[in-house]
Chains A and B, each alone.
Chain A
Amino acid sequence: MQDTTQESREQALVRLMQVYGDNVKRMCCVYLHDLPSAEDAAQETFIKAFEHIDPLLGGEIRNEKAWLMRIAINTCKDMLRSSWLRHIDRRKAIEELPLSVTPAHEEHLALTQAVTALPPKLKDIVLLHYYQDLNLRTCAQILNISAPTATRRLAQAQKRLQQELERS
């Protein structure tokens, strides 16, 4: 493993935050339905990434985006789990999320709402595949599931979204 200094680690971290920061935070926002929690989750994602940044700097991690998204998804799951254990439901309706300053198209708002309302297992795959633009094999690796399962979940998610959009 390459011997890296604190400075080069920090530099790599800053680059990751600049490149993927918005993406990670928005994904956390959809996942957790709550901006303060999403802020915490996004920050914690990068803190965890920093704790394991040496393999990235050493070239052992080929797909840094997939690696970071795995951390983000796991962080969100941990936060949901801890919220559930404390019997606190902080989930908010999409109308309460910090939306764009400029009004979004109704169709886009409905689609965002439908994605947010998906169960976590289906939301995972939709966010990774459609929002983070990762291929199905990578999504399956991130979620620790087989490729056929990933395909099946995506098909289920598509069906649910279709139904939800038709209803709205």
Chain B
Amino acid sequence: MKNDPRIRNALDESLSSVHFDARDMHRVLRAVRGQEAPVRERARRKRKPLRLDFLFAVATAALVIVPLSLFALRAQRTATSKISTVAAHGAVSTGMPAGHEDVLLATPLPPSAGEPGAGVIGESDAIQAARACFEAQCDTTIFTFDEYAVDVSAALGEDGAPSSYVVTMESIYGNGCVFRVVVSAQDGTVISYSTPRLATVPAGLDRQCAEVRAWYERYGEHSFTWPLDAQAEFSRRYEGGMRRMPEEGEADADAIAAAAQAHLSQQAENGVEADSPYLSLYAGRAFADGVARYRVYCIPQSDAGKLPESCTVLTLRASDGVLESSQILPVPVF
């Protein structure tokens, strides 16, 4: 069985859904930066086995406290305010804000508006409300909720009880994307949220960021020369998903490369030197008309191995591979 790849293939195939993903990477980086307790400590806390005293407490609560509370509630006909999430009562407007200001949705109730302590939601409910708000307002085709590190802070009212929660979601990729939601502690209503676009589209690419630099070191100094899947994943994390992979029904990279090559050969007959093409597929969101297009960068091979100052850039529609334009442009610096 020496050099037999069967075991490797079997394990890789059986466990192909197991990846050391961005969340793992983020946790490691947070731990090494001292921002988070080491994984092993969290793991121990998380998996603490059930203890008898805990079971006893749960049993006591189930047998004594809960029936008594229910009895008391029924006897006094106390109406407790129902906690409803944003998605349930539709408090979030569907319109996208134009500016970068927070969107105000409701005037927070003063803490004294209800009975003291009544109807106060917990942090986990606030997170669920923020998640619903994120999913209603932000482009979840770029990042999902799981790709954010979530932090909750409570604003306390005069009685010392939380009056509202500020849920801050920070992208785990170190790209500066943030979404902030203020949730009422009284009923779980979203009071305001920050600009949705800033949750998924980074303000700029920080080339000094360790994660970003690792990408460039791995694939090369110019991202348009990278494999398409690497470009798509990098763009999703750091460029707001401007580049992506081809979808079903669209021209694939091979077809586009062939079309570009045919165009270049035609130009070569007219005295223009043929070049080696590099492809990028830009999503519809990168263009005003919302149409996805391939950009093919035809770079002349220089003797020194350095990129020249300009190159031919072909633009082809992703849907059918039709050539839309051919321009001489400066070589992109990204």
Closest chain A residue to B212, Cβ basis: A14
Q: Which residues, 97 to 128 on A, are CB-close (under 8 Å) to B?
A: 97-102, 104-105, 107-109, 111-112, 115, 126
Q: Which residues, 10 to 58 on B, are CB-close (under 8 Å) to A?
A: 10-20, 24-25, 27-29, 31-33, 38-40, 43, 47, 49
Q: Contact check, B19 vs A21: say whether CB atoms are below 8 A apart.
A: yes
In whole Å, how far is A102's beta carbon from the nearest beta carbon of chain B? 7
Q: Contact check, A44 vs B8: say whether CB atoms are below 8 A apart.
A: no
In the complex, A112 Cα to B7 Cα: how many Å? 7
Closest chain A residue to B32, Cβ basis: A50
In whole Å, how far is B235's beta carbon from the nearest beta carbon of chain A? 17
Beyond A43-B31, A130-B1, 13 additional pairs, beta carbon < 8 A: A10-B33, A13-B28, A15-B217, A22-B19, A25-B19, A26-B18, A29-B18, A38-B18, A40-B39, A42-B24, A86-B49, A88-B49, A102-B16
Which of A43, A99, A102, A104 touches B24 (beta carbons < 8 Å)?
A: A43
Q: Contact check, B32 vs A130: say whether CB atoms are below 8 A apart.
A: no
Q: Is B222 an interface residue (CB 8 A)?
A: no
In the complex, A126 Cα to B6 Cα: how many Å? 12
Main secondary structure of the interface of B (DSSP, over half): helix
Mark each residue of chain A from 15 to 44: 1 if its CB lies under 8 Å from any CB of chain B, else 0: 101100110111001100001111110111
8 sampled A-B residue pairs with Cβ under 8 A? A10-B210, A14-B25, A29-B18, A35-B18, A37-B43, A38-B18, A112-B14, A158-B1
Which of B47, B49, B214 touches A11 (beta carbons < 8 Å)?
A: B214
Residues of B within 8 Å of A, CB-based: how many?
37
CB-CB < 8 A to A86: which residues of B? 49
Known: A14-B211, A88-B49. A98 touches B17 (CB 8 A): yes
In the complex, A136 Cα to B32 Cα: how many Å? 33
The 3 closest A-B pairs by CB, nearest first: A21-B20, A108-B10, A130-B7
Q: Is A133 an interface residue (CB 8 A)?
A: yes
CB-CB < 8 A to B24: which residues of A? 17, 21, 25, 39, 42-43
Known: A22-B20, A130-B7. A104 touches B25 (CB 8 A): no
Q: Is B60 an interface residue (CB 8 A)?
A: no
Known: A14-B211, A40-B40, A43-B28. A30 touches B11 (CB 8 A): yes
Q: Contact check, B17 vs A115: say whether CB atoms are below 8 A apart.
A: no
CB-CB < 8 A to B43: which residues of A? 36-37, 40
Q: Contact check, B32 vs A13: say whether CB atoms are below 8 A apart.
A: yes
In whole Å, how far is B48's beta carbon from the nearest beta carbon of chain A? 9
Closest chain B residue to A111, Cβ basis: B10
CB-CB < 8 A to B25: which residues of A? 14, 17, 21
Which of A14, A37, A105, A131 touches B7 (beta carbons < 8 Å)?
A: A131
